[in-house]
Amino acid sequence: MSSPSPSSEQPQSRNRPGSACTECRRRKMRCDGKHPQCNNCSNAGIICVFNPQPSRRGPKKGHLKSLQVRIANLENTLFGRTQDPLSTEISTDGDAAAQSAMHGWESQLNIPLNEFNIPAGAPKLGTAPISDLLHAELDQLYFDRAHIFVPILNARRYLSWTRDDSKSISRKCLQYAMWTITTSKSAQLEHLCEPLYQSARELLGYLQVTAENSNIDRIEHVQALLILAVYEFTHHTFQRGWMSAGQGIRLVQLMNLHKIDLNKEGRAGPDEASGLDDPVCTEERRRVFWIAYILDRLISLRHESPLTFDERVIATRLPAREEAFQMGQLNQMTGFLSKAITEDGPLPKAELSEMVILATLCGRTVLHRQQAAAEQADCGISNSFWERHRRLDAILVKKGQVISTLQPVATMMPAELASLIPNLMIQSALLYHCTTLQLLADGIESSEMVLQCRQRAILAAQEIIRLTEAVLQLNYFEIAPFTPLPVLLCAKVLMMYQDTDPSCALQLQEALGMVQNLANTNHLCREWAIQHPDLFGSESDFVHIEEESHG
């Protein structure tokens, strides 16, 4: 009998040839290696990823030597030894090498997170995972306190999958986004806010990578982006919120949510993306579009940036009433924006539809000013400017009269809040519109018209101050995230008029006091206050907002 070859004498590995997928490796499960998806990932309903060249474990070459150099340098410093130029050079190189090596070593210890930007399991909230009780409390608090400001979720639909361990990454991301904004509105749970936020951002990073190579239409991905954008506007920076909102808006366009009801009569047809004839799902998609639309208008009002959505090409019906949405009673059709915004009489009897129309008016005032500035730079103020200005002025006055006598129709928010927000928005649109002539005064011959607009702007500013005083009497959790926008606009206008009208100087001090009050809980005001130290003095109580260095 021939002797066995050297290779046959070696003990055979108990693992089958080939590497396990990333998920099986993380969960320490036996992987069958099937491509493109192993059985374990297929059964769990998750994405299966194979890394053809798994990273080597342990420290990189030269890591120990670089650490020895650093230790020697520390000893020299402690004992007061002098260093020659050569040793200093070695120290500098050694520090850089050690930092690089340490970063590389640490990255090997968390391969799924580092390579795919997805957390391994649930986020680490302190030292304990989310319990069933906390899970239920977070879900309930979201619909009690946060949903009224971002009403894009059907509670029953969400609760049907919230405890599903095999839910998709986009749904898990949405869940963390919801819990993030929820804990920001709870004094007892606020310490969980940042860990949840970081987990949501990591999941978004993963979705951003995988979405480029996938045709999967996940409405939950967009919902998560919009909710996080609202949170970031008020708790991080305007720029970060703007970036998240921008990603959500682009996905909304990619999913064609602006034309859900194109060429459809009556109730919307089957949800093509999901393959379900579900009116609740269709209504949820409509609401996602309209929240993205409202954010687009509010961002433009704050930053004077160009609008993204063109209202003239929207073929998605206005949102239904909140109660009908939550109960699934969606038999009654809603109208389209193009008709609702030109109709006389009351606004639609739906809170979100009402906000859509008011946001549209704000957007029109921004677009009107931007067009006027471009015309003035090119050939001066034209007749088309005056036609636009008078037409917009007429509709603002008419809608303002309707809103001033508005009877709240909201079913999910306090009556005071339901009437204050529409009034604040229409006054903001009037204020912005009236100051357009002031900014273009050099190209306008009629000084009398400019003076009239200035008086109307001052009256609108006074009304915003009065309304904001009422808002500040509400519970902190009832104050809408974008309440600072009218106050900031008011302060900017009063700063412009204070030298020519003594009453404006007094009103400006009131507005600045409101900014400082809101800045304690809203970073939209806090950022603006920090940008205007001359208005708040060196004794300001505002803490410094560090520049955001990560996404």
Whole-number pLDDT of residue 441: 65
> Residue 381: inside a domain, yes or no?
yes
Burial class (CB in 10 A: 0-12, 13-18, 19+), 7: exposed
Q: What six digits make up the tokens of 453?
A: 């607009």
Q: What is the radius of gyration, based on Cα positions, of the chain?
A: 29
Where is the domain boundary, 340, 375, 391?
340
> Residue 21: inside a domain, yes or no?
no
Where is the domain boundary, 286, 306, 340?
340
Q: What six digits make up the tokens of 483?
A: 């309440």
Long-range contacts of 100-106 (CB under 8 A, 24+ apart): 100/60, 101/59, 101/60, 101/62, 101/63, 101/66, 102/63, 104/59, 104/60, 104/63, 105/58, 105/59, 105/60, 105/63
Q: pLDDT higher for 266 or 18? A: 18
Give the chain's mean pLDDT. Answer: 79
Whole-number pLDDT of residue 71: 65
Query: What DSSP state is assigned to residue 149?
Result: G
Whole-number pLDDT of residue 383: 83
| Residue 199 sits in the same domain as residue 306 | yes
Q: What six digits make up the tokens of 472?
A: 């500040």
The C-alpha atoms of residue 503 and residue 484 are separated, in whole angstroms, by 22
pLDDT bracket for residue 183 (50, 70, 90): very high
Q: In sequence order, what are the residues at sequence separation of 6 or more whose Cβ sits closer than 8 angstroms to the Cβ of residue 133?
A: none
Q: Pick the range with the lowest mean pLDDT from 134-148, 430-444, 495-509.
A: 430-444
CB atoms < 10 A from the CB of 226, how many? 26
The secondary structure element, H or E, covering residue 434 is helix 415-439
Give the chain's end-to-end CA distance (angstroms, integer): 67
| Residue 73 sits in the same domain as residue 132 | no
Cα torsion through 248, 251, 255, 261, rounded to 10: 30
Q: pLDDT higher for 415 or 507? A: 507
pLDDT at 272 over 90: no
pLDDT at 112 over 70: no
- With b meaning 16 or more CB within 10 Å and e meaning fewer, what string describes 317-343? bbbbbbebbbeeebeeebeebeebbee
> Residue 38: inside a domain, yes or no?
no
Phi/psi for 160 (5° steps) reads: -70, -20
User: How distant is the alpha carbon of residue 118 from its chain centre?
Assistant: 19
Whole-number pLDDT of residue 230: 98
Whole-number pLDDT of residue 277: 66
Whole-number pLDDT of residue 35: 82
Whole-number pLDDT of residue 449: 80
Phi/psi for 125 (5° steps) reads: -90, 90
pLDDT bracket for residue 62 (50, 70, 90): low
Long-range contacts of 382-389 (CB under 8 A, 24+ apart): 389/436, 389/437
| Residue 435 sits in the same domain as residue 486 | yes
Domain of residue 193 covers: 128-340
Contact (Cβ atoms closer than 8 angstroms) between residue 406 and residue 422: yes
> Residue 52: inside a domain, yes or no?
no
Nearest to 76 by CA among 64, 90, 62: 90
Q: pLDDT higher for 301 or 62? A: 301
Stated pTM of the model: 0.74
> Residue 435: inside a domain, yes or no?
yes
| Residue 435 sits in the same domain as residue 320 | no
> Residue 188: inside a domain, yes or no?
yes
pLDDT digits (tens, 9 = 90+) for 189-235: 999 999 999 999 999 998 888 765 565 568 999 999 999 999 999 99
Contact (Cβ atoms closer than 8 angstroms) between residue 111 and residue 22: yes
| Residue 132 sits in the same domain as residue 232 | yes
| Tally of structural domains, the chain | 3
Whole-number pLDDT of residue 42: 78
pLDDT digits (tens, 9 = 90+) for 232-269: 999 999 999 999 999 999 999 999 999 999 865 544 34
pLDDT bracket for residue 33 (50, 70, 90): confident
| Residue 380 sits in the same domain as residue 324 | no
pLDDT bracket for residue 49 (50, 70, 90): confident
Q: Which residues pair with 276 in a beta bridge?
A: 271
The C-alpha atoms of residue 283 and residue 319 are separated, in whole angstroms, by 7
The C-alpha atoms of residue 375 and residue 461 are separated, in whole angstroms, by 28
| Residue 319 sits in the same domain as residue 209 | yes
Q: What six digits make up the tokens of 403?
A: 């809103």
Mean pLDDT for the stretch of residues 381-400: 89
Phi/psi for 20 (5° steps) reads: -80, 160
Whole-number pLDDT of residue 547: 40
